Amino acid sequence: MSTNRPYTAVLEKLKAAGLRPTKQRLALARLLLDGTDRHVTAEELHREAQAAALPVSLATVYNTLHQFTQAGLLRELVVDSGRSYFDTNVSHHHHFFYEDGGHLQDIPGDAVQIARLPEPPGDASIARVDVIIRVR
């Protein structure tokens, strides 16, 4: 019964997020949402899927990551144009980005203090502030 537990937990996460649990979504969610916080690129997840003998294309991985992000299961972090990481930790926090190694490290949300933000334009409101501190 314990072998079905991770499958059941992932299935429930997808359903709770309003996503239909397709075979590909379930397989990728099992790789991503095992309870360990991590930062992954689409290419890294695609390699993990191939290593696990999961028949998914890179396009499917990208589509699924964006669906998970829209559903609130992941956060997308754009560190450079054309270079995004997907974060399984969706709580309030920020990041160090190691430019030389290309990896991210979490910073607790309360460790960064922003004294003042500009007023958003028009009738817009600030949804979230993401801080990425680049280090070498």
Q: Which residues are annotated as a binding site for Fe cation?
A: 92
* Interval 8-47: pLDDT, tens: 888 999 999 999 999 999 999 999 987 889 999 999 999 9
Whole-angstrom distance, CA of residue 64 vs CA of residue 118: 34
Q: What is the pTM of this model?
A: 0.89
What is the identity of the amino acid at 52?
A
Whole-angstrom distance, CA of residue 31 vs CA of residue 101: 23
Q: Which residues are annotated as a binding site?
A: 92
Tally of domains in the chain: 1
Mean pLDDT rounded to a whole number for the chain: 92
Domain that holds residue 77: 4-132
CB contact set of 73 (below 8 Å; sequence gap of 6+): 13, 14, 17, 19, 29, 33, 88, 90
CATH for 63 = 1.10.10.10
